[in-house]
Structure 1
Amino acid sequence: MHKFSRAILSSAILVVLSSGFAIADPWIAGVTPRLVGRGVTSEIVISRWRHEASELVFYPPGMTAPEYSNRDEGNRPPGIRCVETELDADKERLMCRLEVAADCQPGEYPFRVLTAVGLSSMGTVHVSPFPVIEEGETKVNTNDRVETALRVEPNVTVLGTLSRSAADDIDCFRVAGQAGDRLSVEVDMVKMGNDLRWNPVPDGYDSVVTVLDPSGKRIAINDDSSLNRQDPLLSVKLPVDGDYTVILRRSMFVPEERAYAIHIGRFFRPLAAYPLGGPAGEPLDIELLGDPLGSVSQTVTPPQSPGTFAYFGEATLPLSLRSSPFPNVLEKPDQLETRVPATPVAINGILAGPDETDRFRMTVKKGVPLQVRVWASALGSPVDPSIKLRRVDSSGAVGAVELEADDAKRPDRDIFGGQGDFPETFDPSVVWTPKQDGDYVLEISDPRGFGGPTHVYRIEIAPPVNTLHIGLSFEGYKPERPRKTSLSVPRGGTWTVRLSLYPGQGSNIKGPIDLGVEGLPAGIQMRSPQMPSLQSVWPMTLVADADASLAASIIRVTAQPAEGGEPFATVNQQNLQRVSYSHYPWRNIRVDRFAAAVSEPAGFALELKAPKQPLMRGSEMTIPIQILREPGFDEPLEIQCELAPRGVGTSPAEIIPAGQNTANLTLSASANAKLGSSPLYVMATTTQARGGRPGSKVRGDTELGSERVRVSSDVVSIEVAEPFVSLSSEPQSVRRGNTIEYRWAVKQIRPFEGQASVSMLGLPVGVTQVGVTPTIDKDSNEVAVQLEARDEALLGLVSELKCDVQFSVGGVELQLRTGSGKLRIDPRLEK
């Protein structure tokens, strides 16, 4: 066992450059073991790691539920904390000692590592409610037969590995049981996926479990399950006394090493709860269904805050239920239809038999929108639901279908900034505006014709609630980049991120809107301009004091209407992809908070000043950027604009040589650029990631996702306005060898001071502008440009001629491109 030394935040041995400036972001390549037990102190190792660590910052529990957990649960302390860390002598592994409370909620715990250079990418560790033992297979394929199976006591978690071998590795376990006992088995393998490379990863995470009785006869088998997704889960009533064998293997052999945790015991394993939720804060009687020894009645109290919550019993995997602010209606199986007294309502039922359709009759108002959201697959039910809404005519007869819905798109289920497999999308969710007053019949069925005692569902019907979802910048099918997915602010520096803003289904959110942040580390302040109306992207700037301590916290970005605006709910969400298969993520880690930290100084800062004049549609403008370098920092920098108004182009990324302290940003507004004031900022990065691994060819190891050091300017406001003038012309002609005055009509749009010069653009070869450059002022209604056609000018019609009008206003140079002219070039007249 490694001897640990406590990591002190103010330690002088933090990994920084000799100048004291921050180096590349830490990136978690893997965590082993993937699971620890409760009530004990355990060690985990982060592999391929090169940074001293200050602490592990854990997200509170309940943040990775199928939907968003209630806020009460989200505010609970994690029940797991890191007490010591040590970087090994070769700077290849970080050992972390974890203390897990005896009452720590089982499940997966996301965390980030705080270092001097900022927060790491996200890692996770699982917590089991049972004692944890090792598989102990010292030689490949030694416990792949009944005779060599590892004997275990009931209610235990075994950590093991299906090895990378030429022949399929099969792991066997022996457990004693008596007739009438329950034997439950749960496997975590996909959830243990530890391969975060974002390139095609071979299959092999999908496993299957078989149970043999004492005679060797198979009595149970499971591959996938609606509750545990790609990982097996089963529970069986034992027929006789004796030793039973549990066999774990891949569902398809691939010679790749796969870690797993298998939970074996006599624990109560229900597969569903009915009803699937109830009114918030009120006692709810539920039936726990699917256990081989029969159903069990239980009373639970849904949390006060609406949302999805976890019901934990004896098993490792909880059931997911709903807390809602409206009453339950339960189906009446002995009737053709169940009457719904009123809406809002939560309808609950069971598709108990094959090809069953359940029907509910309700009275609604014409033109009043209702959100109809089904909860089944999202909560682990085997139902793949489809719904239909049928009108009822004046005679009471059920008529044609007015609305039909099956699978949902991710935004329908309020899933943003994520890709991959989301079971919620099997459940329909629609905003329905009835076309008549009176009764409608809601039908629900499973198009596959499946049904059974655990095929539960819930349908919540209520007016849509205005909800704004806030996410961080999302890059599809790419590894996590910590500087974008966590918020590490250099001490004394500025860091701006683009928040992604998504209205929930049926939401109508109006501006202006103010942003805020809850829970920032001491010494960090947030600045963000007021949002005039809901935008898809908006900047948030974090500024760290020069004397701020290196620290981290879990934060929540808030939004609220400006004074007098209509209120709305705010939800944060971040979906980070895990376990890819041909670039397709099998699962996501979802959290509803973000992480922020103070890191070591970057060594440089940016100063961007707002232009004194508006940027005209169709014009260009150049803005100076000042680079403020700390003594000892003399690296090249790459500068790029990361946010500009819609329809405004920016100059490409530019490399600023070492020692240079100025740069320029050129803005180019299209003719239909968005008018008004919009935010603008630039980002500077070092040209190479610092702190590369020994032996790497570059200073930064891109395979590990190392980032270059990044700093932003403050956000400035850029005004886009109509141009001062617009020019137009009639088609004109010139003969070779002649000179003409090409005349443009000048339309005055906004007054301006001084004079502007006019030059023509797009002239063909052989035609040039000659003479004194003409000018216009605020009173001009025409301008003539002198053109000369030489003998080499091509004959024919030239279109799309434009003018470059150059203004100098308040010391700012503006270039306006306007007009659309035509010029016909004729042959020289013969004498």
Structure 2
Amino acid sequence: MRTFIAAFLSPAFLVVLSSGLALADPWIAGVTPRLVGRGVTSEITISSWRHEALEVLFYPPGIAGPNTGSISDTSMQPGIRCVGTQFDADKERLVCQLEVAEDCQPGEYPFRVLTAVGLSSMGTIHVSPFPLIEEGEANANSNDTVETALRVEPNVTVLGTLSRSAADDIDCFRVAGKAGDRLSVEVDMVKMGNDLRWNPVPDGYDSVVAVLAPSGKRIAMNDDSSLNRQDPLLSVKLPVDGDYTVVLRRSMFIPEERAYAIHIGRFFRPLAAFPPGGPAGMPLDVQFLGDPLGPVSHTVTLPQSAGTFSYIGEAPLPLSFRSSPFPNVLETPDQPETRVPATPVAVNGILAEPDETDRYRITVKKGVPLQVRVWASAIGSPVDPSIKLRPVDESGVAGAVELAADDASRPDRDIYGGQGDFPETFDPSVMWTPKQDGDYVLEIADPRGVGGPTHVYRVEIAPPVNTLHVGLSFEGYKPERPRKTSLSVPRGGTWTVRLSLYPGQGSNIKGPIDLGIEGLPPGIKMLSPQLPSLESVWPMTLVADADASLDASLIHITAQPADGGEPFVTVNQQNLQRVSYSHYPWRNIRVDRFAAAVSEPAGFALELKAPKQPLMRGSEMTIPIRVLREPGFDEAIEIQCEFAPPGVGTSPAEIIPAGESTANLTLSAAANAKLGNSPLYVMATTTQARGGRADSKVRGDTDLGSERVRVSSDIVTIQVAEPFVSLSSEPQSVRRGEKIEYRWAVKQKRPFEGRASVNMLGLPVGVTRVGPEPTIDKDSTEVAVQLAASDEALLGMVGELQCDVRFSVGNEEIQLRTGSGKLRIDPRLEK
């Protein structure tokens, strides 16, 4: 095992000198420990690892803000870096030393590891705001009773484990307190989930925490919470002086080992803030609600940019705020309605009592579309909201419901490329086009009839912002495949990725559109054909120079209208699932940028010839493919087309055997294939993982994410055009023992040179073409095919007859399948 010294390139990542052979594509099966402290250098271990590390690339944190009491944005630098790695090939593990700044914000930090064969799948590490201690310092299993509880000082994070045992493991912690003090407890267990392979994961992550008074009486307990989801969280005002016991256990016993972090202290723990948002860039007077010692008022300055942001206070888990470019209106609790002077607007209220319905009177214009989006569950509020909009008549009375909304779909909430638990989907988000000018009443309630002092909500009502969301390839309910979810480009090679393009709710985006990219590693350039219109999927090619250094960076894919079109905002989004249970992801890690890197050369390249002629609807075309092999590379290669025009079928994947270098791609255009120019490319893949070992621990291990070396061809343009001709016919008949001329009407659609041969397809047994093969030219209006029926011909009607028309264009043969005919076979006439 060797230690490597870091050469820092930027605050976001470092390069570590390395050596050794890569054994499989890098896939992070687990990280331990899952949490580190601030202001110290800590060591983490990546298990089931088979690579030297070149670089560790950290994303900005999912919850942002390095300073106490600040609102912050995820564009900040992470404040965490790797200062050395050790690769132990025998134990198959990578040990990383992480240096965490004193002011590093608490929260979860996604990262990827760069190796010679490319970027790894995503791992995460958490940062605590408090000093860390190990549960094991008090000897194994010694804190499983109130009497043997581990004594801790306030404002500490304990790293522990609920062990795998025949009986449930209970961990207890003792902390001194005085009457009137606050005791706050937060647990991270689901967030510590380390099961990243694709298999049903047994339960056991869901925990419950309780606080016992010195007398042993339970004074507080929490299982799930709206703010902390499946992980418990509580804060209590202590009734007497003495030693209190914090008890952590599973909510349901499962004999599986589960790591956790429990934060215990006197920290201020509000559960909500009111209002939960305000005008961007402006100071906002906020009341923090839900702390056992009572509300606290504070002024918060919101970021200039719009979005959801985190308030970092004393507690490990922040509160979420909205920053919006329009004014706030706060509910008037003692009035039946709150008057809203104009839109756009954000209305803010609290469903403080059970069965409460809050009402706002707004003035709108008929036919002007508005997006009505609620923020409650999405920002950690206990409210599960529903809304109704009622028009107000001339007498001032609210009428029948014009629009009602409850839960939302993921696309409604601009969530793409993810599955599982997204709290945003409990909040309505709808497009509303008012049917009349004047006043409407907006009603908001919780259909469950619950209410309370922390049941805050916010409703933003405004014209939609034209937004285009960009994602990478997504495979539902499957583990991450780093070759698809990150962009590792072989040095001197080409890599093409299918971008997914999603217009946001209410967006109207038209073409043409130009794609761009920001932040690529040195030596990589991006190539992408212009989108003629908005497409759901579009290819983007990255090309690495032959002398590009092995490097990595975070990138942002951009899009903009070409030719002065209406502008729109581009958002990058990637959702990667964590902790799957019965094929359902409990958690998702969401990042707002992608990772790109230069990896070692692939050893081969791919050449796809652009067709010289258009592909006609109803025709087939064959395009040659060539593998360019570097000296010493003689592996079998699998070729597959990954992108073709809509309505164009492609030949199945084909294996080019070792030592061979040519293949063909066959394209078949349906009669309704999309006309015009479209991009086309093929992908070449080695048939086994690079460096796969004879013990088969790597080769073909899809659960561990083992991938094969992949490169793409350049993108070529293929034109789908109308056919030269179309053929049609009326039903015709032939008797056994006779001949007929089956006549097809020829409709000229595009001129062509020379003559084309015509051959009928689908003829039944006993019916054959006789005589010379008929031909047509650009002036033909009819073609006749001579048919003969033998006594073996089956009697009755035969349908689905077609013609195969063969054209010779530029030394290429083009086959067109056209026509739909019927032929009735009748009995022989008796003499």
Scaled to the shorter chain, the TM-score interval is over 0.9
In structure 2, do the counterparts of structure 1 residues 231 and 694 end up closer, same or farther at CA, with 3 Å as the change threshold? farther
CA contact (8 A) 1:690 1:700 kept: no
Partner of 1:588: 588
Partner of 2:219: 219
Q: Describe how 1:181-220 pairs up with structure 2 within 5 A.
A: 181-220=181-220
Whole-Å separation in 2 of the counterparts to 1:737 and 1:658: 54
CA contact (8 A) 1:140 1:163 kept: no
Q: Does residue 1:327 correspond to 2:333, yes or no?
A: no
Q: Describe how 1:269-288 pairs up with structure 2 within 5 A.
A: 269-288=269-288
In structure 2, do the counterparts of structure 1 residues 807 and 71 end up closer, same or farther at CA, with 3 Å as the change threshold? farther
Letter in 1 for 2:37: G
Whole-Å separation in 2 of the counterparts to 1:71 and 1:565: 35
Which digits, 9 at most, give the CA deviation of each residue in 1:314-335, with x for residues without a partner?
0000000000000100001011
Q: Does residue 1:409 correspond to 2:409, yes or no?
A: yes
Deviation at 1:755, TM superposition (A): 1.3
Q: Describe how 1:64-213 pairs up with structure 2 within 5 A.
A: 73-90=73-90, 92-136=92-136, 141-213=141-213
CA contact (8 A) 2:62 2:590 kept: no
Secondary structure (helix, strand or coil) at the match of 1:695 reads coil
Q: Which moved more, 1:136-145 or 1:222-231?
A: 136-145
Q: Does residue 1:56 correspond to 2:62, yes or no?
A: no
Letter in 2 for 1:119: L
The percent of aligned pairs where both chains have the same amino acid is 84
Deviation at 1:610, TM superposition (A): 1.5
Q: Describe how 1:15-34 pairs up with structure 2 within 5 A.
A: 15-16=21-22, 24-34=24-34
Q: Does residue 1:4 correspond to 2:13, yes or no?
A: no
Whole-Å separation in 2 of the counterparts to 1:457 and 1:293: 23
Letter in 1 for 2:630: E
Letter in 1 for 2:492: G
Whole-Å separation in 2 of the counterparts to 1:48 and 1:289: 45
Q: Describe how 1:779-794 pairs up with structure 2 within 5 A.
A: 779-794=779-794
How high is the TM-score relative to the length of structure 2?
A: 0.97
Deviation at 1:738, TM superposition (A): 2.1
Deviation at 1:703, TM superposition (A): 2.3
CA contact (8 A) 2:617 2:720 kept: yes
Deviation at 1:740, TM superposition (A): 2.0
Partner of 1:527: 527
In structure 2, do the counterparts of structure 1 residues 279 and 697 end up closer, same or farther at CA, with 3 Å as the change threshold? closer
Letter in 1 for 2:303: P
Question: Structure 1 stretches of 5 or more lacking a match?
Answer: 17-22
Partner of 2:730: 730
Partner of 2:266: 266
Q: Which moved more, 1:75-84 or 1:763-772?
A: 763-772
Partner of 1:568: 568
Whole-Å separation in 2 of the counterparts to 1:536 and 1:625: 27
Partner of 2:11: none
Q: Does residue 1:804 correspond to 2:804, yes or no?
A: yes
Whole-Å separation in 2 of the counterparts to 1:71 and 1:272: 15
Whole-Å separation in 2 of the counterparts to 1:238 and 1:137: 27
Whole-Å separation in 2 of the counterparts to 1:3 and 1:157: 32
Letter in 1 for 2:250: R
Deviation at 1:702, TM superposition (A): 2.1
Which digits, 9 at most, give the CA deviation of each residue in 1:732-756, with x for residues without a partner?
1122222222111111000011111
In structure 2, do the counterparts of structure 1 residues 631 and 229 end up closer, same or farther at CA, with 3 Å as the change threshold? same
Letter in 1 for 2:21: V
Deviation at 1:138, TM superposition (A): 7.9
Which digits, 9 at most, give the CA deviation of each residue in 1:697-731, with x for residues without a partner?
66343221111110001111111111100011121
Which digits, 9 at most, give the CA deviation of each residue in 1:646-682, with x for residues without a partner?
1110000001111111110000011111111111110
In structure 2, do the counterparts of structure 1 residues 690 and 322 end up closer, same or farther at CA, with 3 Å as the change threshold? same
CA contact (8 A) 1:389 1:402 kept: yes
Letter in 2 for 1:4: T
Partner of 1:546: 546
Whole-Å separation in 2 of the counterparts to 1:449 and 1:535: 43
In structure 2, do the counterparts of structure 1 residues 160 and 697 end up closer, same or farther at CA, with 3 Å as the change threshold? closer
Letter in 2 for 1:111: F
Whole-Å separation in 2 of the counterparts to 1:71 and 1:541: 38
Secondary structure (helix, strand or coil) at the match of 2:740 reads strand
Aligned-pair RMSD on alpha carbons? 1.6
CA contact (8 A) 1:734 1:824 kept: yes
In structure 2, do the counterparts of structure 1 residues 693 and 101 end up closer, same or farther at CA, with 3 Å as the change threshold? farther
In structure 2, do the counterparts of structure 1 residues 769 and 435 end up closer, same or farther at CA, with 3 Å as the change threshold? same
Deviation at 1:691, TM superposition (A): 3.0
Secondary structure (helix, strand or coil) at the match of 1:5 reads strand
Letter in 2 for 1:739: K
Partner of 1:306: 306
Deviation at 1:91, TM superposition (A): 5.1
Secondary structure (helix, strand or coil) at the match of 2:401 reads strand
Deviation at 1:139, TM superposition (A): 6.8
Secondary structure (helix, strand or coil) at the match of 2:400 reads strand
Whole-Å separation in 1 of the counterparts to 2:155 and 2:312: 15
Secondary structure (helix, strand or coil) at the match of 2:5 reads coil
Whole-Å separation in 2 of the counterparts to 1:7 and 1:668: 53
In structure 2, do the counterparts of structure 1 residues 241 and 697 end up closer, same or farther at CA, with 3 Å as the change threshold? closer
Secondary structure (helix, strand or coil) at the match of 1:511 reads coil
CA contact (8 A) 2:18 2:52 kept: no
Whole-Å separation in 2 of the counterparts to 1:618 and 1:72: 57
CA contact (8 A) 1:693 1:700 kept: no
Partner of 1:711: 711
- Residue correspondences, number: 820
Q: Describe how 1:636-651 pairs up with structure 2 within 5 A.
A: 636-651=636-651
CA contact (8 A) 2:686 2:709 kept: yes
Partner of 1:19: none
How high is the TM-score relative to the length of structure 1?
A: 0.97
Whole-Å separation in 2 of the counterparts to 1:135 and 1:329: 48
Partner of 1:489: 489
Letter in 2 for 1:640: Q
Letter in 2 for 1:611: P
Q: Describe how 1:32-43 pairs up with structure 2 within 5 A.
A: 32-43=32-43
Partner of 2:392: 392
Deviation at 1:140, TM superposition (A): 6.0
In structure 2, do the counterparts of structure 1 residues 694 and 626 end up closer, same or farther at CA, with 3 Å as the change threshold? closer
CA contact (8 A) 2:38 2:102 kept: yes
Letter in 2 for 1:746: V
Question: Structure 2 stretches of 5 or more lacking a match?
Answer: 8-14
Partner of 1:250: 250
Partner of 2:10: none
In structure 2, do the counterparts of structure 1 residues 678 and 297 end up closer, same or farther at CA, with 3 Å as the change threshold? same
Q: Does residue 1:13 correspond to 2:19, yes or no?
A: yes
Q: Does residue 1:449 correspond to 2:455, yes or no?
A: no
Deviation at 1:89, TM superposition (A): 4.2
Whole-Å separation in 2 of the counterparts to 1:463 and 1:517: 28
